[in-house]
Amino acid sequence: MTEKILAVDDEQDMTKLLRRTLEPELDCHVLEAFNGSMALDMLEEKRVSLVICDIKMPGMDGFELLEHIRNLYPDMTVVMLTAFGNIESAVAAIKKGAYDFISKPFEQDEMIFKIKKAMERSRLLSE
């Protein structure tokens, strides 16, 4: 069974970039959501191994979405995306229960490495 990743970002170019990069590298399927409520609806309908979520989004931001995910799916592995240089947000995300963070713009190899590690964690938790 192909694992599913949910990419959440209000910038559709970012979710498409994640899909085009991760699907061939990790042999997975990347679902795209463009806001927090859309992401929660998708999580209710589909089983995913990992959520990659931008912090800055209109309406429900990434921290709020992370809080909902922690309450509804406590073992879900979540990696946050943050604008380059915003280390305070990244630290706050980890404290709120994110597994890791990726700074945007990112180096493709580093992003793939971090997502692979997050997927391994997800697999271990589901065993």
What would the pLDDT profile of 100-127 be if each residue is shown by its tens digit?
Answer: 999 888 999 999 999 999 999 999 988 7
Is the Cα torsion angle 104, 79, 54, 6 positive or negative in sign? Answer: positive
Check residue 48 and report its DSSP letter.
-
The tens digit of pLDDT for each residue in 30-40 reads: 999 999 999 99
Q: How much of the chain, in percent, has pLDDT values that exceed 70? A: 98
Task: Write the CA distances from 84 to 60, 70, 87, 95, integer angstroms.
Answer: 21, 25, 8, 19
Task: Write the CA distances from 7 to 1, 78, 110, 114, 127, integer angstroms.
Answer: 19, 10, 17, 14, 23
Full-model pTM: 0.94
Q: Grade residue 84 by pLDDT with cuts at 50, 70 and 90.
A: low
Query: How much is the pLDDT for 57?
Result: 93
Task: Assess whether pLDDT exceeds 90 at residue 91.
Answer: no
